[in-house]
Amino acid sequence: MTTTRRTQKQRREEAETALLTAAAELVDEQGVHALTLAAVGERAGYSRGLVTHHFGSKQALVERLARAAQAGFVPGLDGLPAGLDRLLRLIDGYIGELGRMGVLNRVFLKLWTESATTAELTPLFRERNEAFHADLYEDLAAGIADGTIRADVAPDETAIAVVAQLRGIGMQRLIDPGRVDTERLRTHVTALWRQALERV
């Protein structure tokens, strides 16, 4: 019987995944202020030295965690052309994902909230907001250009409003999950945005 030995790259990726998972669990349970490289290493079954080797600092670890938590949040959008349909699918899918509210979803929202009062998090989450805003702006501008979105819609201000609404729904879901029926809400909110934006 032979066993396949893992490559160094595979071992590195497995360790990094385990460390990010441990960091997410700690932030979810205790908040970012309780996060230390030593605690992450202990939770994952590794040494603090390995955490430092992979991430270098707590700041770099938190940044990787925030990016991992937001990456691919709404599945099924890759390859769709920018425009009204993609925008509405994003809104619907975002609220739907909030209904599942896994550890990474909770961690992203908790970090985002803490970024308002934690100086080292503020630039990172400003960047995350700007990336989300730019994605929405692209859909709105494309929809105006192809005639599916009304010409009098202001893409910048509308993108800000959509980000605020989706993140606000996320915070309500985090604080009072029993109050927010995401399956009903996603249909309602998507219909409202269609009505507000669609060129008749």
pLDDT at 194: 97
pLDDT in tens, 82-104: 999 999 999 999 999 899 888 88
Please give the Cα distance from 144 to 182 (Å, whole number): 29
> Residue 141 phi/psi, 5° resolution?
-65, -40
Report the predicted TM-score, pTM, of the whole model to 2 decimal places: 0.82
Copy the structure tokens of residue 157: 């201000």
pLDDT at 149: 98
**Residue indicated by tokens 């409202």:** 192
pLDDT at 199: 87
Percent of the chain with pLDDT over 70: 97
The domains of the chain, with CATH numbers, are 8-58 (1.10.10.60), 72-197 (1.10.357.10)
Low-confidence ranges of the chain (pLDDT < 50): none
pLDDT in tens, 47-67: 888 889 888 888 888 888 888
pLDDT at 3: 58
Burial 2-30 (b: 16+ CB within 10 A, else e): eeeeeeeeeeeeebbebbbbbbbebbeee
pLDDT at 22: 93
